[in-house]
Structure 1
Amino acid sequence: MAAPHPAGSPPTTTAELRRRVLAAWADSPARFREDANAEEDLVRGGYRDRLLVELAQNAADAAARSGQPGRLRLELTGDRLRAANTGAPLDDAGVQALATLRASAKRGPVDPGSAESAAAPGAGPGAGEGPVGGTVGRFGVGFAAVLAVSDEPAVVSRGRSVRFSAADTRAAVAAVGALAGELAARDGAVPVLRLPFDTTGTPPEGFATEVLLPLLPGAVDVVRAALAQLDPALLLALPALARVDVVLDGHTRTVTAAPDGATVRLTDDDRTTTWQVLRRSGELPAGLLADRPVEERCRRDWTLTWALPLDDEGHPRPLTGAQVLHAPTHGDEPLSLPVRLVAPFPLGPDRRRVLPGPVTDALVQEAAAAFADLVTALSPDPALLRLVPPVGLAAGELDAALCRAVLDRLTRSAWLPAADPEEPALLPARAVALDDATGPRVAALTGVLPGLLPHDWSRRPDAPVLRALGVRRAGLADVVEAVRGVRRPPAWWAGLFASLEHADRDELAALPVPLADGRTAQRPAGVLLADDGLPVARLAALGLPIAEPAATAGAARRVLERLGARPAIAAAVLEDPAVRAAVEDSLDRADEVDAPGPWQDGPDPEELAATVLALVAAAGTPAGALPWLAELALPDADGGWAPAGELVLPGSPLEGVLEPGALGRLDPRFAAGRDGDALRAVGVLDGFALVRADDPEELDVDRVGEWVDACLDRLPAGTPPGWPPVVAVRDLELVADWDRALPLLAALPAQVRDDVRIGDTLVPGYLRWWLRTSPVLGGRCPDRLRHPDAHSLQGLYEPAEASPAVLDLLAPARSVADLLADPDGAEELLTRLGDPRRTVQPDVLRTVYRALAEALHGLEVSPPARVRVDVDRVVPDAVVLDAPWLQPLVDQPLVPAGGAPGPVADLLDLPLASETVQARVTSRPARVVPWADVPGASLAAARLGLRELPGQVAVHTRLTVTGGVEVGWWPGDADGPDATDGTPAALGRALAWRHGRWPSRQTLAEAFAAPDAAGALAAEDAVD
C-alpha cells in the first residue's frame, strides 16, 4: 500500500485513497459499519426515481464550473446506462469527492480518513450541493443515487477516470483481518463508493465526462421508464444545463432550456412551453446552522427558484394537481401552491422530508418574499388569484408555514389591479370586489367606488381567495348607496341602469332615477318612461315623474321597467285602469241621454270615443289585442249607440257577404276621416271578428259544442283533453254569400286557420271544422270532397273546386289517411267503397280495408251492405282470405285484407276462408327431403337470415287435397313437412309461410327457380 500523503494534502491516486480508507476501517470497524449502513440506507431508500435528476445536477455543476451552457446525453443501451456531459472534466478533487461520504469537490476536499469524513456518513458526492451561481441544491442524494441501479459504476473523463466495484471492494475488505467479522456479519455487503479504482476510457466526442452504469437485474425497466418520463421542467432548477438528449430505442428526445429575461422557454422535441422564473440567492446567518452537521455549517449559501407556466398569450397558467418540493430532486414534501418551487430546505435522514428548525423557517420567509415578487412582476391577470394559498387544511407542516408566509406577503403587497386605469396597483385591504360583477357594471361604477377591482377579478368562485386577502366585497346595496347624490350626465346613468339588467330587483328598490324636469326620483317604482313619440314636455308640465329620456336608452329602459317604472307611451296610457273603466261603462252612460250630447258628470260620448281612437292610433294597437275596447260606445247608422264590436265598417268587404241587417252599421259621418286601423282595433268589423278563449266552453260561436265533440272523438281513449288557447271566428252563421266570404276567411291569420294540437293529437281548428262540415262549396260540404291533386281518391270522391288559398283553408282530403283521421270520414269512406257507382284505385284497394279496420277499431260501426272485391266490382257476399293455400278452394269473391284478415272480417261482418273451407292433403309424396337439400336452398336461407334451412319438404308429383282439387302447396303442421308440387313458386310460398315471411315468397321462389345463378343473385342482394 502506498505511503500516505502529508497531513492536509489530498491523496492523488486511487490506491492511496483506498489505503487510507481501509486503514481507517481497520482502526475502527465501527466506521466501516457506519459507511456500509449509509450506503445500504440509500439502496433501501428507493432512490431510483432520483437517479436522472442527480445525474443532471452533476452535469449542471460541471457546466457551471466551466462557465459554458451545459449539455447532458442519457442513453440506455442494452443493460447499460450512459450519461455524458459537457463542462469541467473530473479532476483529483473530484475523484476524492466521489469516494468521500458527505464531502464534495464543490466545497473543498475532506480527508476520507479524517474523523469528520468517517463520522458523518450520508449522501454521496455530487449531491448537487454547492454555492450559488455554480451549483444548486444543498442536501440531496448525489452520486450515491447510482447505487440504486448499479454496483459497478464508472466515470470516464478527459481529466481523471475512476470506477467503483462491489466485488473488488469486497475482496479488498476481505484482505483486512480486522474486518473479516464485519464482512461476514453483513453477508459480504460493503460500501461500494468508498474505494475507487483506476479505469480507462474516453467520453464521447464533444463531452467532457461520461458516467457508465452497468444496471443491476430488474433495474433496466425502471431506468427505461424514468428516461421516458423525464420532466423537462427539471431544467428550470438547473440554469447551467441548457440541453438534455435522451436516447432510447434508437430515438433521440431533445429537451432544451432557453432563458429570455424573466422567462424560460422549454422545448421538448416539437413542444414548447414558457415559464416565468424567479430566482433568489443569499447566505444564511451562521447562527442558524449552529446545530447542523459540519458539512452544512460550511455551506451557508442558498438559492431558490419559483417557476410558473405561461400560456401562448403570456398569461399565467397555474399548475394543477398536487405539487411537491424540488431541491431539484423532487421529494415527498407536499405543497399546495400551484407553482414549482426548487429550494434547499434541510432534509431528514430519508432525504425526502424537510426538517423543521430555524433554517427551514428562514427559507420559508425568503421563499414567501420571492413568491410575492413573482406575482407582482407578472402582468395583471385573474389567473393570479389561483396562486393565492388556499384557506383550509394544509398539505403538510412545511406547506402550512409556506402558505401562511405567502399569504402574509401578498396581503402586504400592492399587486391587485384597479378597474380605474388611473389608479395604481392596490393593496388587498384597499380593494373592493363587486358582487355579481360584469364588465359594464364595473365600468359604470369606476370612479364612484374607489378601489374597485376589474369584473373578472371579482368572480364569485374567487370569493374565498379575495376574503383571505382581506378584499372588501360590495353588494348592490352598497352600489345604490354610492350613487345617491352623484351628479353624472344622463348617458352615465343609462350605462349604470343597463349594467344592472340581471341584478336582484329587491336590492335595487331604492335606486335613484334622474327625471326630465331636473328632479331625482328616489326609486324607480312609479316613474314614467317616455316613448319617442310622446310629448314629454307636455306631460312633465302635469307633474308626472317622467324619466330623463337620455338616461333610459337601450337596456336601461328594460331595467327600470322591471323595477316598477311604467312606459309613458300611448299604449300605457290607454291601458290605464281608469281608461278601461270609462270604455266599459260608455254604452250605459250613452243610453242615459236620448241623443248624443254631454254627460252630466263626464265627457261627451263622442269626445270619449274620439280620444280613445286617437290613443289607439298612436299606440298602434292591433285588432283584438285589447278585447275590452270592443265595448266602446260608437254611433251607429240608425242614430243610436252600439258597442264597437257589433258594428260593421261602412263599405267594408264584410258588409257585402252577411245577411242584410245581421249586424249594425257604423255611422258613416263618424267614420269619415277616422283612422281605419284604429276603428278595427276597437272592434269595428271590416272583416270577420275573432274571439279568443282559454277554454272552448267560453266561446260564444255557432256549433261550438259539435266542434268540441268532434275533437274529442279524435283523441285516444281515456286521454283527458288539455286545450290550448283557442281562437275562433264569429258570425259564420250570418254569411249569405260564400263565394265572396271564403277568400276573406282564407286571408285570416294562420293561428285562426290552422289545426289545433291537444296533447299529442292534431285536430281541426274551429274555423276549418265549421267550414268543412257546412255546405259552403256550391252547396256541398268540403269533408265530402277531395283535393284536386288527390289522385288516389279518384273515383271515390269528387274534386273540390276553389282557389289554392281556399283549398288550403278547407283542407279537403288528399289521401286515405286524411279520411281515416276523422271517425265520421272513415265511416263515409266505408260506405263509398260499397257504392257500385264508384271506382277505386288499385293501390288503394289493397290496403284500404285494413286501414279502415284499424281506424274504426273499438267504434260501433254498421257493416256495409256491399263490399268491394275489385276496383270496379262490389258484391253483397264475399270471403276474407286468411290462409293463402285455401285460395284455389274458395268459390266466392275475396276481399283484399291487406295482411289483417281477422280485423277486416270483423269490420265487414264476413267469414274467413278458413271458416268456410275444410280440406287436407290426399295425395302421397314422391319423396321427402330436407329443405337444405333442395337446389337453391342456400340462397333462400341467406335471404331469410339463416345459416341453413331447417325441417323437411314433401314433393308430390301431383298435389291434391280433399275433393281432388290440385293445389301447388299445402302447409304442414309444426313438426311435419310442408307439401309442394316441387315448382319454385310452390316452394317459395311454403317456405315463406313456414318462416312468417309471406311478403318474401317471390324472392324465395327466385332462389329455387335459378339455383345455378345463386352466386349472381347473392351478389345482387349485397348491393345497397
Structure 2
Amino acid sequence: MLRTVSDPFATAELRRRVLAAWTDSPARFREDANAEEDLVRGGYRDRLLVELAQNAADAAARAGVPGRLRLELADVGGGGEVLHAANTGAPLDAAGVSGLASLRASAKRDESQTAGRSGGAGGPPIPSVGRFGVGFAAVLTVTDEPAVHSTGGGVRFSAARTRAEVADVPALAGELTRRDGAVPVLRLPWPAEGTPPGGYATEVVLPLRPGSRVAVRTALEALQAELLLALPGLTEIEVVVDGVTRTLACSHTSPLARLRDGDRTRTWRLEQRTGELAEELFAGRPVEERARRGYAVTWAVPLDDDGRPEPLPVRQVVHAPTPSDEPLSLPARLVAPFPLGPDRRHVAPGPVTDALVDVCAEAYAGLLAALAPDPAVLGLVPRIGLAAAELDAALGSAALDRLRTTAWLPLADDPEARQTAERAAALDDAAHDGVAEERTAVLAGVVPGLLPAGWAGRAGAPALAALGVRRVGPAEVAEAVGGVARPPRWWARLYASLDGADREELGALPVPLADGRTAPGPAGVLLPADDLPVGRLGPLSLRVAHPDAVAPPAARRLLERLGASPATAAAVLADPAVRAAVEESVDAVEEDWGRADPADLARAVLALVGAAGTAPGELPWLAELALPDAAGAWAPAGELLMPGAPLAAVLQDGALGLLDPSFADGQDPAALRAAGVLVTFALVRAEDPDELDVDAAGAWADAVLDRLPPGPPPAWPPLCAVRDLELVADWAGALALLAGAPEEAWADVVLDGVAAPGYLRWWLTTHPVLGGRRPDRLAAPGSRELQGLYEPASGPPDVLERLRPPATVGDVLADVDAALDLLDRLGDPERTVSPAVLRTVYARLAEALDGVDVDPPAGVRVAPDRVADPGREPVLVLDAPWVQPLVDGLLVPAGGAPAAVADLLDLPLASERVTGTVTSRPARRQAWSALPGAELAAARLGVAELDGEVAVHEPLLVDGRPVAWWPDGDADHVDGTPPALGRALAWRAGAWPLRQALAEAFADPDRAADLAAEDAVG
C-alpha cells in the first residue's frame, strides 16, 4: 500500500506555488485568508455532514459503485474526539488534492479585492463553484487539522504548520501579525500517513476542536435517512456514536425509494425529470456551470402503508442537491440543481433558475398525477399565501398553474379517467361528509366532472379552491337533476343523501309522483304512508309522491323539511286540493264541470275519512261533499239523513234529504257520519258567535253578554252548538237524542270568569220543549225556594239533568229575561212565595236588574200570599225601622237595599212619607256607657267603650203617638225597654244584625259574665 510520505500528490509543489503567489502579492494572501474566514464564519457547521455525504456520493458516482459512508465519532483520550468519515468510490487523486486546496467562495472583503482572480505564479484559480470547494471547506468549522486518507495516498492541512510557513516569509510576516496569526488553512497541503478502513476508498479525519464536539454529536444523532434522496449515488450511511451503530439506507425500485433508519422503513414516491438546459441560459454563469448543463430534478413524498401520500410539513427547504436555506412551502422533498450564490446557501436568481422552476412544476404535476387517486393527494396541492421567499413563491405558483391544466383529478363515474381542474366539480357540503359517499354515488354521471367521494371534504376544500375546482352546492344539485329520468328508487337514494342540507337551496328539487308526473319541487307534495290507498286517490288529482321514492326515512325527512307533507289519510284530507274538491263537488255536479265522476270522488274522500278515523264534526267542510240522495239527486252530505237514522223520526217531514240506500250500503257508516251524514243531531263548531250557522245564535250571544259586567268585548272560547233544532217536530224524542250528545255540546261557556249556558242548553231552555213549556219558566223538581212561583218541571231525569231548570232564586236571577219574568210572577196574586224568599227577593232583583230599563210592576208583593196595587193603596219601602209604628200603609221588605228596591218598584221610602218629633220629656239622660250591661254590649260590638247619650222616656211619644225608640241627633230616645235599647244602639253602631244580642246585654246585666263566657265559646 502506498505511504503518504512518498507525497504522491506533489503537495510540496502545491505549497511552493501558493507561497510564491502570496510572496509576490501579499494582497492575494489577504484575499485567501478573507475567503476562508468567510467560509468559516458563514455558519457551515450545520452543513458539515451533508457536504461529507455529498463528497462520498460524488466519489461513488465517479467510480460507478454503490456509495457507502461511515461517520464515526471516536474518543482519542484526554477529552479529545475525532470525526471519521470513510466512503467508497473513486480514491483521492492529484486533481482532488488540487481541488481541496482551492477555495470555493468569494474572497472579496472590500472594493479593492476581486473574486475569481487567477492564482498568480501559476496558482490555481478561485472559482465560485467547484467539485469539492465549500463542501470540504465546511470541515474548518469544527477542526484546525483536517486530513484525508485514501488508497492512493493522503493529505493533511494544518493551521499551525501553515502559520509557521507564512511566518518565515518576510513579505507576509507583517500581514500575519496584523491578522493575529489567522491563516488560510486549506491552501497549503502536506502529505499524510494513514489508510482508510477496509472496504472504503477514502477517509476524512477531523480532530475536533473543543467547542465543536457537542454540535457534531448532535448533528450525527439528528442525521436522517431522507438525506439519501438528494444523493442518489449514496446507498448507505453508518453513524457510529459511543460505539452504537445506526444505519441509514436507501433502496430504489423505480418509482419508489425505501428509506431505512435502523429498524424503521419508510417508502417514498419519486417523480424525476432529466434533461439539458439551453446553452444561452448560462450566459454570465461560471465556466464550470456552463460545462454541466444537464439536470436531474426529483420530487419525493412519503407513502403510508396503503400507498397514500403523507404530505410533509409545509416548511421544507430546497435541496440543490443538498439542503439550502431556500424555504419551500410545498409539502414534498425537492432535489434540483439550482445554481447557488456565493454563500452556497441561497439559489441565485436568473434564467437557469427560471427554467428549472418550470421543470420542477412539470415534475410536481406529474408526481400528483402518478399517485393513487386518493383524497390525501389534495394535501400536496400548493396553498396560496404560504410562500416564504421569492423562489418558494415561484415554485408554488408554477406548480399550481401546471396542476390546473394537467388531467390528474379522478372522476366519480369512471375510476380510470382523469380530468383537469377546470372540468372538475366537487360537492359543496362539508358539514355532511358522512353521506358524501352515497350522494356522490347517486350523482355520478349526472353532475359533469364530479370528483369521487372524499375529495370534497372539509380537509381538501382549500386545495380545491386553489385549483379553481367548481363547487356544487345543493341548489346546483337540484338544478342538475331537473329533467333527469331515473327510477323512483334512485330518487330515494338522492333524497336520503341530501338529508340535512340547507333547505333554502333545494326548493326546486324534483319529486316523482305516483301517477307518473313529476312535481317541480317538494312544496305541497304528499308523502304516502304505507296504508294509504294511493291507487284510489286518482279522482282527487293530488300530488302524491311515488312510494318507492320516499321509502327511506331520511328521504321522507328531507322532503318534509322542504315543504312536503306526510300523506297519512289525515294529512291528505288536510290538503287544500282535497278540501277544494269537496267544497266544489255540489256545484261541479249541478254545473257539469266535466271533472271526475262525483261518485268516484265521494268514494275516494270517504276512503280517506275512514282511514283517518275522522270524528263527526272534526272537519266541518266534509259536510259539503256531494252525495246521492234517495230521489236520485245530489246534495251536501251534511243535509242528508242516514237510512234508518233516529234523527229522521223527530224532524219535520221533508226537512232534510235521505242518503241513497244503495250508495250507503257500500260505504263505512263511520266515514259517512264523519262526512256529515246525519244519524243524530250534528255539532257545529266556531271561534266566534258570528260564525255559528245555527238558529238564534245572535240572541244566545246577547244573553251571554248580558250576564257580564260592563267592559270591553270579551274573547270567546271555542264554541260548540247543535244545528237543526228549529226543525224538530217531536220534542220528546228529540230530547232523548240530545241527552246523549257529547258533553261539549252541553257545557257552559265561560267569559271573563263568568259561566253562562252554552248554546244548546240556552236554546232548549228558552223554547217550549217540555210539554209545550219553556224549561226556564219551570222549577227543578223538589225546589223549595221557588215553590209557589213556578210549576215543577217533569220529564226523564237525564233530560232534566241536562236542561237544569232553575232550582233557586239565584238560578233565575242569573239571566236578565228570567229575572224580569220573576218580577212579574211576584206581582201575580195567583202565586205565593215563602217568607224567607220574600225578605230578600226584591233586593236581589234590584241588583240583578241594575242598569236594565224596567217598567214598574202593576202589583207588588207585601206578604207571602198578598199582592198590593200601589195605584190603589199606599205601599212603602221601609228604610228606617223606627218609623214603622207610625206608617199608615203596606210595607215592602227591602232586604237591606231599600233605596234600590224603591227605585226598582217605583215606590216611596217610608222615611220620605213619615216624619215626627219627640213630644214626651225624658225621665233621665245618661251616657250609653253608664247603662247596666253597657260593658257586654261594647264587647259584642267590638269596641272599648260605648259613646253618645241615651234619653229614657216613660213612655216615649212622637207626635203624641207611642214608639219604642227614635234617634235624634247625638241622643237616642228610648222607652227604656231592653229591645228598644238594643235597636237604638245597633242602629247607632251600624250593626243592625246585632240588635237582639245587644238587647240581651241590657235585659240581664247581672248575667253579663255568663253571657260573655258564652260569647267566648262561640
TM-score surpassing 0.5?
yes
1:45 to 8, 25, 42: 42
Cα shift at 1:253? 1.2
2:389 paired with 1:396: yes
Question: CA-to-partner distance for each residue in 1:951-988, whole Å, 9 max, x for gaps?
Answer: xxxxxxxxxxxxxxxxxxxxxxxxxxxxxxxxxxxxxx
Question: CA-to-partner distance for each residue in 1:444-498, whole Å, 9 max, x for gaps?
Answer: 1111121111232223453443233232222222222222211112222111121
Question: CA-to-partner distance for each residue in 1:656-694, whole Å, 9 max, x for gaps?
Answer: xxxxxxxxxxxxxxxxxxxxxxxxxxxxxxxxxxxxxxx
Q: Which moved more, 1:320-329 or 1:185-194?
A: 320-329
Aligned-partner Cα distance in 1 for 2:524–2:574: 15
Cα shift at 1:428? 1.0
Contact 1:574 1:580 in 2 (8 A): no
Cα shift at 1:540? 2.7
Contact 1:328 1:343 in 2 (8 A): yes
Question: CA-to-partner distance for each residue in 1:291-329, whole Å, 9 max, x for gaps?
Answer: 122333333232222111111111011111411112233
Paired residue for 1:472? 470
Paired residue for 2:52? 55
Aligned ranges 1:195-206 → 2 under 5 Å: 195-206=188-199
In structure 2, the CA distance between the partners of 1:272 and 1:636, relative to structure 1 (3 Å rule), is: farther
Contact 1:419 1:442 in 2 (8 A): yes
Aligned ranges 1:99-114 → 2 under 5 Å: 99-102=101-104, 113=119
Paired residue for 2:94? 92
Aligned-partner Cα distance in 2 for 1:169–1:602: 134
Percent identity between matched residues is: 61
Aligned ranges 1:319-398 → 2 under 5 Å: 319-392=312-385, 394-398=387-391
1:120 to 113, 122, 126: 126
Aligned-partner Cα distance in 1 for 2:449–2:533: 42
* SS, match of residue 163 in structure 1: strand
Contact 2:357 2:398 in 1 (8 A): yes
2:145 paired with 1:148: no
Cα shift at 1:55? 0.8
Question: CA-to-partner distance for each residue in 1:841-862, whole Å, 9 max, x for gaps?
Answer: xxxxxxxxxxxxxxxxxxxxxx
* SS, match of residue 473 in structure 1: strand
Aligned partner letter, 2:226: A
Aligned-partner Cα distance in 1 for 2:389–2:657: 88
Paired residue for 1:746? none
Cα shift at 1:611? 2.2
Aligned ranges 1:170-185 → 2 under 5 Å: 170-185=163-178
Paired residue for 2:155? 162
Q: Looking at CA atoms only, which structure, 1 or 2, has the larger radius of gyration?
A: 2
Contact 1:528 1:545 in 2 (8 A): yes
2:646 paired with 1:595: yes
Aligned-partner Cα distance in 2 for 1:27–1:632: 131
* SS, match of residue 417 in structure 1: strand
1:611 to 658, 671, 685: 671
Question: CA-to-partner distance for each residue in 1:206-229, whole Å, 9 max, x for gaps?
Answer: 222111100012100000110111
2:18 paired with 1:21: yes
2:221 paired with 1:221: no
Aligned-partner Cα distance in 2 for 1:25–1:558: 92
Aligned-partner Cα distance in 2 for 1:224–1:603: 108
Question: CA-to-partner distance for each residue in 1:596-620, whole Å, 9 max, x for gaps?
Answer: 45995998999887129999xxxxx
Aligned-partner Cα distance in 1 for 2:658–2:180: 123
In structure 2, the CA distance between the partners of 1:340 and 1:645, relative to structure 1 (3 Å rule), is: farther
Contact 2:641 2:659 in 1 (8 A): no
Paired residue for 2:182? 189
2:557 paired with 1:558: yes
Cα shift at 1:121? 5.4
2:261 to 258, 263, 268: 268
* SS, match of residue 409 in structure 2: coil
Aligned partner letter, 2:401: D
In structure 2, the CA distance between the partners of 1:586 and 1:637, relative to structure 1 (3 Å rule), is: farther
2:71 to 45, 69, 74: 74
Contact 1:100 1:112 in 2 (8 A): no
Aligned ranges 1:573-592 → 2 under 5 Å: 573=572, 582-583=617-618
Aligned partner letter, 1:240: G
Aligned-partner Cα distance in 2 for 1:160–1:327: 31
Question: CA-to-partner distance for each residue in 1:16-55, whole Å, 9 max, x for gaps?
Answer: 1111221222222222222111110111011110000011
Aligned-partner Cα distance in 2 for 1:636–1:216: 124
In structure 2, the CA distance between the partners of 1:22 and 1:112, relative to structure 1 (3 Å rule), is: farther
Q: Show structure 2 runs of 5+ residues with no match.
A: 1-6, 76-80, 106-115, 431-435, 580-613, 624-637, 676-716, 723-732, 746-1018
Question: CA-to-partner distance for each residue in 1:48-92, whole Å, 9 max, x for gaps?
Answer: 100000111111112212222211111111211111112222222
1:484 to 482, 485, 491: 482
Aligned partner letter, 1:414: A
Aligned-partner Cα distance in 1 for 2:512–2:20: 99
* SS, match of residue 240 in structure 2: strand
Paired residue for 1:764? none
In structure 2, the CA distance between the partners of 1:172 and 1:115, relative to structure 1 (3 Å rule), is: closer
2:547 to 543, 546, 549: 549
In structure 2, the CA distance between the partners of 1:403 and 1:278, relative to structure 1 (3 Å rule), is: same
Aligned partner letter, 2:557: R
Aligned-partner Cα distance in 1 for 2:735–2:656: 25
Contact 1:510 1:524 in 2 (8 A): yes
* SS, match of residue 457 in structure 1: coil
* SS, match of residue 306 in structure 1: strand
Cα shift at 1:573? 4.6
Paired residue for 1:445? 443
* SS, match of residue 448 in structure 1: coil
Paired residue for 1:722? none
Contact 1:333 1:396 in 2 (8 A): yes
In structure 2, the CA distance between the partners of 1:172 and 1:283, relative to structure 1 (3 Å rule), is: farther
Question: CA-to-partner distance for each residue in 1:236-293, whole Å, 9 max, x for gaps?
Answer: 1111111111111222111111112211111111221111112222223222222122
* SS, match of residue 210 in structure 2: coil
Cα shift at 1:233? 0.5
In structure 2, the CA distance between the partners of 1:296 and 1:585, relative to structure 1 (3 Å rule), is: closer
Q: Show structure 1 runs of 5+ residues with no match.
A: 1-9, 104-109, 128-140, 616-627, 648-1024
Aligned ranges 1:696-707 → 2 under 5 Å: none
Aligned-partner Cα distance in 2 for 1:532–1:587: 24
* SS, match of residue 419 in structure 2: coil
In structure 2, the CA distance between the partners of 1:581 and 1:213, relative to structure 1 (3 Å rule), is: farther
Cα shift at 1:640? 5.5
Cα shift at 1:113? 4.5
Aligned partner letter, 2:141: A
Paired residue for 2:876? none
Aligned-partner Cα distance in 2 for 1:341–1:451: 31
Aligned partner letter, 2:482: R
Alignment RMSD, CA only? 3.8
Q: How many residues align?
A: 607
Paired residue for 2:966? none
Contact 1:92 1:160 in 2 (8 A): no
Question: CA-to-partner distance for each residue in 1:320-374, whole Å, 9 max, x for gaps?
Answer: 1411112233222111111111222222222222221111111111111111111
In structure 2, the CA distance between the partners of 1:94 and 1:112, relative to structure 1 (3 Å rule), is: farther
Contact 2:529 2:566 in 1 (8 A): yes
Q: Which moved more, 1:216-225 or 1:280-289?
A: 280-289
In structure 2, the CA distance between the partners of 1:646 and 1:193, relative to structure 1 (3 Å rule), is: same
Contact 2:328 2:388 in 1 (8 A): yes
* SS, match of residue 582 in structure 1: coil
1:210 to 203, 216, 219: 203
Aligned partner letter, 1:611: A
Aligned-partner Cα distance in 1 for 2:255–2:164: 54
Aligned-partner Cα distance in 2 for 1:601–1:143: 118
* SS, match of residue 21 in structure 1: helix
TM-score for the superposition, normalised by structure 2? 0.55
* SS, match of residue 424 in structure 1: strand
Contact 1:595 1:640 in 2 (8 A): no
